[in-house]
Amino acid sequence: MSKRPQYEGEPSLARVMRKPKWIAALALALVVAGVFAWLGQWQLSHAITLEAEGDAHSETPRPIDEVLEPGTSVDDTAAGMVVALSADPVLGDLRVVEERVNRSAEGAWVTGHVVVEGAEGHLPVAIGWAPTAAAAQQSLEALESELGASGSRGAIELEGRYMPPDAAAIPEAADDPLRITTMVPAQLVNLWEPFDGLAYSGFLVLHPGGSGDPLSADALAAVGLQPIESVPPLPRETINWLNLFYAAEWVVFAGFAVFFWTRLVRDDWERIHELRLQTEAA
């Protein structure tokens, strides 16, 4: 491939670039490149979309037996879904789970064990949050007394967000084997009283009920517990690869507009020097 000729002397390439006609051409090229860049940005903004419909769907309470069954893993559809259920609390299976963050503050959860009516599945429930493990233990004892006093009411109606289990943590040799720091149903099951049937692989973050409910916000506050922050799942993203390809094309076109201007200027510069050489040779 032959190299393009190099010329010395005036006019220099920079001087040719400063000619009014090429300055005007550069302005036009930049406008065209800007339009192409804007089109690329527009295509890119439409290449990735959020499924807002899925968010609204997850916030509408659904019966838990329509979402999943006990003994099955937590899939993407069930994770973060708000569910409703009727269940019997199991007294004596309340536990404190430490190192739980609630609205940026670290504390502890009081968790419980309920038997879901109909499915007869055993479900861990994160009931409320306290600022320290000691405070959570006191709240646990007070809540256990309250639930015991209202035990004659039978099943209670619950609503909350169904969450996947935490990753299991390997305890250190010096750790207290009874200290719980992760919300893992498989671990909690081993600490509960023996039972028949299947357990859910996830857990419920309780949404406190209305006035008069044994697990209402007022009832939890009375025993020193705060509602646990229930965060909706992040919206799913979908990628439109065709729009992404078009966005890349517009970026290439924007660069080509400036390149085309430099090529035209160089051609003009070479033509000027070639004419000068021909004139000198004549």
pLDDT attached to residue 159: 94
Q: Which domain holds residue 248?
A: 13-46+240-281
Secondary structure (DSSP) of 79-142 = TT-EEEEEEEE-TT--EEEEEEEETTEEEEEEEEEEEETTT--EEEEEEEEESSHHHHHHHHHH
pLDDT tens readout for residues 82-96: 999 999 999 889 999
pLDDT attached to residue 282: 63
**Cβ(212)–Cβ(21) below 8 Å:** no
Question: pLDDT band at residue 235, thresholds of 50, 70 and 90?
Answer: low
pLDDT over 90 (residue 276): no
Going by C-alpha positions, the residue among 223, 58, 61, 72 that lies closest to residue 158 is 61
Overall number of domains in the chain: 2
Is the domain of 77 the same as that of 19? no
Is the domain of 117 the same as that of 65? yes
pLDDT tens readout for residues 155-208: 889 999 999 999 877 777 777 777 889 999 988 998 898 888 899 999 999 999
Is residue 230 situated within a structural domain? Answer: no
Structure tokens at 220: 């939890």
Is residue 193 situated within a structural domain? Answer: yes
pLDDT over 70 (residue 52): no
pLDDT attached to residue 112: 94
pLDDT over 80 (residue 120): yes
pLDDT over 80 (residue 71): yes
Is the domain of 37 the same as that of 156? no
pLDDT attached to residue 85: 93
**Could you give the 3-state DSSP secondary structure of residue 259?**
helix
Cα–Cα distance measured from residue 159 to residue 109, given in angstroms and rounded to the nearest whole number: 17
Is the domain of 38 the same as that of 57? no
Is the domain of 87 the same as that of 150? yes
Is residue 234 situated within a structural domain? Answer: no
Mean pLDDT of 54-79: 82
Q: Which helix (H) or strand (E) holds 22?
A: helix 20-45
Is the domain of 198 the same as that of 252? no
Is residue 18 situated within a structural domain? Answer: yes
Is the domain of 155 the same as that of 264? no
Is residue 235 situated within a structural domain? Answer: no
pTM: 0.65
Is the domain of 109 the same as that of 248? no
Is the domain of 75 the same as that of 192? yes
Mean pLDDT of 136-153: 81
Structure tokens at 90: 């199991």
What percent of the chain shows pLDDT beyond 70? 89
Which of 8-12, 29-33, 49-53 comes out lowest in average pLDDT?
49-53
Is residue 233 situated within a structural domain? Answer: no
Q: Which helix (H) or strand (E) holds 205?
A: strand 203-206
Question: pLDDT band at residue 111, thresholds of 50, 70 and 90?
Answer: very high
pLDDT attached to residue 86: 92
Contacts of residue 13, Cβ cutoff 8 Å, sequence gap at least 6: 265, 266, 269
pLDDT over 80 (residue 35): yes
Is residue 231 situated within a structural domain? Answer: no
Contacts of residue 252, Cβ cutoff 8 Å, sequence gap at least 6: none
Cα–Cα distance measured from residue 167 to residue 182, given in angstroms and rounded to the nearest whole number: 7
pLDDT attached to residue 152: 46
pLDDT attached to residue 129: 95
pLDDT attached to residue 118: 83
pLDDT attached to residue 138: 95
**Amino acid at site 72:** T
Is the domain of 31 the same as that of 96? no
Is the domain of 126 the same as that of 142? yes
Is residue 132 situated within a structural domain? Answer: yes
Average pLDDT, the chain: 85
Question: pLDDT band at residue 275, thresholds of 50, 70 and 90?
Answer: confident
**Cβ(226)–Cβ(102) below 8 Å:** yes
Is the domain of 61 the same as that of 26? no
